[in-house]
Structure 1
């Protein structure tokens, strides 16, 4: 049994996580602990406050008691808004408080892109323009090329959480760029898990979404691999033939 502890701000798309646990069909547990979101606003000051150490520390003890082997701050904007060094400091403090390997969704995106062997990405974000630009800058600080960054102008996580299939697919399509090897959708308030297969089929390339990469990152920290066809290229089973695959092309199974 592998247990990945998740600190999740507020209540928007937390039901993506039990869906992932079911799709993984293995002995993986994803206990989730809600943190106080404070003011629900995709605005710099509100996002910095949402990821304040005291807000995150409030859920750490419960997470430890649940037997977590790794910890992920399941929030993208509450990490990257602090910049590269600030986001690193945030997870160092979390790791020290929990006594566990820790990360955040922001870094999960970077590690997932690297795991796929991609270097050029497009961003399809729910955020306003300025917050989307901050995420793009965070990715550039990681050495990735951002070929396009689409902003949707949504201010609150509560509104993002109401989006359904049509809006999610539409955002991915609008945010794609032919030069990009993968499309990133950075908001853990956005329901995406049910649409991952469709998104990748629609765009013909890997699609990385916030809740998906958050779980993958937690498993990576716990030194555990798990696979599920329904969770996209990132969770592709080891019988996929990567020898002839290049980012942006669909993988082929061995005959």
Structure 2
């Protein structure tokens, strides 16, 4: 049995993790994806995000996950990791790993690692965040060697609002801001339910689509050396090189 633990902020789209567990094969796969929650404001604003991703809060999440005996843990929050910048986010993951006693990462690093696994160098970012927060994600990707050729921001203030988006709105948000020079479209924000839309959007665009909860699950599996092949979670989970 492989167990990947996820620390998820507040409540919005955490039901994507049990869905991912089922899409990966359920009990037959031997993969468990338990989620534990930490709480703060769900506002997409820099001071609040810095508090949300603080060492103390993540240590609390690691303690909650301990009962699941995870093989790795992932901070399932994009904005609550990239807001620290590249080095700050690295320190955040290192401290989380020390608290949990197992390998650790975050959704922001998951995007960079997933893009590189697919050979993606140029991307379009379609973000739910306000513009100033979305630009910090662009900076983070640049620090990871990924060029952003276009960026759109939906200017949604809270995670709760993002989690309430209808599936068709999510699909349009993901597909409607592509760029012809982009190798892939990146959709950050673990508050957004995207797993059910990825394959359709990829078919529409003819290129990979990387979304927050998708890459977060993939990153957890990467940390323990697993790369299951499934057809229901987009190109990322169909690439043997991943």
Pairing 1:148–2:150 present: yes
Q: Which residue in 2 is equivalent to 1:173?
A: 175
2:83 and 2:137 in contact (8 A); partners too: yes
CA distance in 1, matches of 2:226, 2:120: 22
Q: 1:122 aligns with which of 118, 121, 124?
A: 124
Q: Which residue in 2 is equivalent to 1:9?
A: 9
2:118 and 2:239 in contact (8 A); partners too: no
CA distance in 2, matches of 1:156, 1:62: 25
Q: CA deviation at 1:40?
A: 1.7
CA distance in 1, matches of 2:18, 2:205: 26
Pairing 1:33–2:36 present: yes
2:46 and 2:83 in contact (8 A); partners too: yes
Q: CA deviation at 1:62?
A: 2.8
Secondary structure of the equivalent of 2:125? strand
CA distance in 1, matches of 2:160, 2:80: 15
Instruction: Structure 2: give runs of 5+ residues left out of the alignment.
Output: none
1:150 and 1:174 in contact (8 A); partners too: no
Secondary structure of the equivalent of 2:227? coil
1:2 and 1:224 in contact (8 A); partners too: no
Q: CA deviation at 1:42?
A: 0.4
Q: CA deviation at 1:174?
A: 2.4
1:228 and 1:237 in contact (8 A); partners too: no
Q: CA deviation at 1:120?
A: 0.4
- With the length of structure 1 as denominator, give the TM-score of the two structures: 0.91
Q: Which residue in 2 is equivalent to 1:56?
A: 58
Q: Which residue in 2 is equivalent to 1:87?
A: 89
Instruction: Structure 1: give runs of 5+ residues left out of the alignment.
Output: 243-255
2:121 and 2:147 in contact (8 A); partners too: yes
CA distance in 1, matches of 2:239, 2:125: 25
Secondary structure of the equivalent of 1:230? coil
Q: Report 1:128-143 matches (<5 A).
A: 128-143=130-145
2:7 and 2:76 in contact (8 A); partners too: yes
What's the CA shift string for 1:202-241, capped at 9, x where partnerless?
Answer: 1110000000000000000011121210100000164xxx
1:229 and 1:237 in contact (8 A); partners too: no
2:2 and 2:30 in contact (8 A); partners too: yes
TM-align CA RMSD? 1.1
- With the length of structure 2 as denominator, give the TM-score of the two structures: 0.96
Larger gyration radius, structure 1 or structure 2: 1
Q: Which residue in 2 is equivalent to 1:192?
A: 194
Q: Which residue in 2 is equivalent to 1:245?
A: none
